[in-house]
Amino acid sequence: MDAFGAVIFARALTVGLRRGMFESVAGRPLALEELSRETGLRPEGVRLLADACVAAGYLECRKGKYSASAEAKKWLVKDSETYLGDLIYYFDSLNTRLAGLDYSLEHGKPREPYYASFTDNEWETYVRGMANLARLLMPEVMRRIRLPAGGGRILDLGGSHGLYSLECCRRFPECTAVVMDFAPALRWAAAMHAGEPGTRMSLSAGDILTAPLPPGQDAVFMFNILHGFDGETNRKLIARASGALRRGGSMYILDQMTGTGQRSLLSRFMPLMVGLNLMNEIGGSAYSVPLIREWCAEAATFRIMPLRFPGVTLIQATDWSGPASIHRDRD
């Protein structure tokens, strides 16, 4: 049932999104014939699709008319603050690349990383999907970020959409942020924020593994980054990030991690799915909290903050060995 139902419903859910099914029934209930016209699907096809969504809890059907459930209005209707449709489009894009999973698990990496063959449309899907996820996690993450009074300097490695840095700049009047990622990702980030007033956030195209990192940072964000690399690469990346911090600055690492102590089956299952996917996408994996602690060996303090989302953990690693910052030093 896991294999049969999951793979088919995932694609069915995506078709429903693309055809505007959830938007159509969010405002008023529609009969089958009306829903068929709205979506452009044959009546028998839309019946199967809509009834599957009823069984899954995303639609309701009363007296022959379909309406969006509270779950659909929360997750699948575009004007919702918690809309995840773009993330589901990204998940759907994994299907083609997952055909190479057998090879990736045998060799520890795919024949080529995802970004080597991404089209511009695929970059857009990726960036917007990750932005959906960031908006979902944002309130809980922001409650745990500690910055100097006024905000300080942030380096957001692999920050893609830049939403975490943007939010810090909105909240802290003296905050400045640099988001470093591949140029195609930042092109879509710039498009997303085109109407945003000046926020003291800049976008820097470059490979986070090799590009020079600006020094004297109060915080370095590494959100959903470590799962994309092998262990030795992560060790070196964390050392590079630590070198960019001022004394007392913190690395913030957000990822799907194992070994968090969370007991639910879903919390243990989801990081492993992320690990399988990232090994297939780029040669990454899922890593444990104890291993990440080992990589952050120079950190004087190491805070583990599991979030309420299954398997997601935020780590703050603070290093007091770096150079002092005259105007922001806290020791």
CATH number, domain containing residue 28: 1.10.10.10
Q: Around 164, how many Cα atoms within 13 Å sit in the side-chain half-sphere?
A: 31
Answer yes or no: do 152 and 275 share one domain.
Answer: yes
Taking 50 as the threshold, does the pLDDT of residue 20 lie above it?
yes
Inside any domain, residue 86: no
Q: Are residues 66 and 204 in the same domain?
A: no
Residue 61: predicted pLDDT: 97
Last residue of a domain, one of 47, 75, 103: 75
Residue 125 is assigned to a structural domain of this protein? yes
The torsion angles phi and psi of 203, rounded to 5 degrees, stand at -110, 130
Residue 121 lies in a domain: yes
Give the domain-ending residue among 14, 41, 75: 75
The answer to whether position 131 is within a domain reads yes
Determine, yes or no, domain membership for 261: yes
User: Do 288 and 139 share a domain, yes or no?
Assistant: yes
Residue 208 lies in a domain: yes
Check whether residue 188 and residue 282 sit in a common domain.
yes
The one-character DSSP state at 197 is: P
Burial class of residue 9 in the structure, from the number of CB atoms within 10 Å of its CB (0-12 exposed, 13-18 middle, 19+ buried): middle
Question: What confidence tens digit (pLDDT) does each residue in 122-169 have?
Answer: 999 999 999 999 999 999 999 999 999 878 999 999 999 999 999 999
pLDDT per residue over 227-271, tens digit each?
999 999 999 999 999 999 999 999 999 999 998 877 789 999 999
What mean pLDDT do residues 176-185 have?
A: 96
Q: Is 330 within a domain?
A: no
Q: Which residue has the higher pLDDT, 44 or 330?
A: 44
Q: Is the pLDDT of residue 198 over 90?
A: no
Q: Are residues 110 and 195 in the same domain?
A: yes
- In the listed set 75, 105, 135, which residue is the last one of a domain according to the structure? 75
- My answer on whether 70 and 157 are in the same domain is no
pLDDT(281) > 90? yes
What is the distance, to the nearest Å, from the Cα of residue 88 to the centroid of all Cα atoms in its chain? Answer: 12
Band of residue 321 on the pLDDT scale cut at 50, 70, 90: low
**324: which residues sit within 8 A by CB, 6+ positions away?**
246, 247, 331
Based on the fold, state whether residues 230 and 111 are members of the same structural domain.
yes
Q: What is the DSSP letter of 152?
A: -
- Residue at 324 is within a domain: no
Q: Domain of 279: which CATH number?
A: 3.40.50.150
Provide the domain count of the chain. 2
Angle at 283 between CA 298 and CA 264, to 5 degrees: 75
Its domain, for residue 60, covers 2-75
Is residue 52 located within the same domain as residue 13?
A: yes
pLDDT of residue 327: 37
- Of residues 155, 178, 275, 293, the one with CA closest to residue 224: 275
User: Is the domain of 123 the same as that of 178?
Assistant: yes
Q: Do 228 and 101 share a structural domain? A: yes
Q: Could you report how far apart the first and last alpha carbons of the chain are, in Å?
A: 57
Which residues are CB-contacts of 13 (< 8 A; sequence separation ≥ 6)? 53, 56, 58, 88
DSSP-assigned beta bridge partners for residue 254: 223, 314
Structure-block tokens of residue 68:
């969006």
- What is the reported pLDDT for 331? 30
- So what's the pLDDT on residue 263? 79
Same domain for 153 and 110: yes
Answer yes or no: do 260 and 149 share one domain: yes
